[in-house]
Structure 1
Amino acid sequence: MTCHPDSSHHLNVHLGDGLYAALQERCRRTGESASHVIRQALADALDLEHHTIYQVSTSGALVQGVYQGCVRVAEVLQHGDFGLGTFDGLDGEGILLDGTCWQACGDGTVRQAPADALAPFWVATRFSADHREVLKHVASWGDLTARLDGLRDNANLFVAIRLRGVFERIRYRVACKAEAGVDLVSATSAQATFELENVAGTLVGFWTPSFARTINVPGYHLHLLSDDHRHAGHVLELQSHELSLELHRENHLQLVLPETPAFLNADLSGDPAAALARAEGDHR
């Protein structure tokens, strides 16, 4: 698999007062960065393809312990500005938000992921909200997912999910680097778990239909990134007085399969759903 270098470019653009004011108001209202809004507007104007998930490897491969990185972060960034994943050797949790990739490490620290860091599994998209809503008094993970179930209009399409707000309570975990060949359930049994209060941040993730469980984690899969970039990980439980929700429906999947010996020789014929449920954590 060929990995290309980072191909991002910087533009200097002069904006009139009216356009600049509108941009600032949009950023204030939605919490998006100016660069994200501008990239999205350019993609719309140039008719770039939206509603596409770019995915590296499969959930079934992760369950079997196929953690060898095969795609560089720079390559992922060419296909999306939003998403989640993990790093070579299951070394932490990955969060892609507003075009920047972050790595949550097992010791609780968070850093910007290097462009040449390798990912064995990643899910990315160019996020453009189809639906916006404010969720009040979210009591728990179960409460959140029940409300999201009521807002999804189809059971057979993927959905990208972005939630922003202050979490009165949030519990999350970070996978610790695993030895090659150790299955996912065993690897995540040694994960680091954190619980915080009154944290402002964003949840990034996806809902995947059950028919795609051999490809991606079925149901809801969300990662946290705090506004100060000090806390991040795979969400297990939460509580919030108010969350701003954005949904982006996805109807196109681009699946990139590794050509590593570990992947080519793995037995991916089984149903990984039960193992994924154990590895992804008990949402209680």
Structure 2
Amino acid sequence: MTVEGTYEELTSGFLKLTVSSASGANAPHVGDAAYALNVPGYVFILKPMDPGSDQIIPMVKSGSCPTSNLSANWVTVTAERGMNASDSNQDFYGTFTFDPASSQASLPSRYNFDQTDLGSLSLPPGSCNEGVLTLTGADMFLTDNGGAIVHLGVDTPSDPSDDQIIFGFAQQSIGDVANLAGDYAGLAFDGNRTSGTGIFPVSITCDNAGNCTGKGIVDIDTNTLTNESVDITLSTADNPSTGFITGTVIDTNQPGSTPGKLGCVVNLNAQGSGKNIISCVGQSPGDNTKIFNILFISK
């Protein structure tokens, strides 16, 4: 399939991609449009084109295989189907290391939503070729600054229920929640959502104290927002370890609902772009057993 088109930057913070020509099986039609979040030269996140899909399409600028020890923070972006967000024995974010000399990979820390470290985990040896690190059951697509997109479940291609997508960022100190203040565009997933797709575009504003308000975007082209909102509190920087921030999410439209706990990984000034990337996994404020994800990028 070959697709050509144009793009424009919208005030909503998204890119709009419009097809001008296409050929090949199942090619899109001329005039079809898609929307994406972008950090130039680093990461490109495509919103699902199928309105019924709950799968984002992440892409990164291809990096090379590491020649020295690799250390990264990771966070679950797309969880395995049926994962229980209230399970205290389940890890949702943590740290990763890879030693190219021994081809040994490990997870030194694995955190649940109570910020409890569930202990280290050694992984089977891996191999790397042209920036793709292959481990048993997983492919890691490496960036040129120590980040990665990880696809778990590749050893069972006929069973999508065990697929997971994980983002990895180079370990970097946040320092202070005030460093995250600003306006963001993002994509959110709420496993408790009962109507429409679980993934939806959002506009988020964070103040110097880490108090963020997010609203759904009804029309990405015009940046028309809903009246409904969620309140996200990013409370403790570099917790439970360097490069993470923890907090809560509250659905202001559901009075009395239990706030969901969040664990987020942060990349400040990604690739010198002036843009921050924040990727959070947490509990849905409507049902703490369901997964809530939000990825937001500075406008």
TM-score (norm 2): 0.25
Give the number of the structure whose residues are more often helix, by fraction. 1
TM-score (norm 1): 0.26
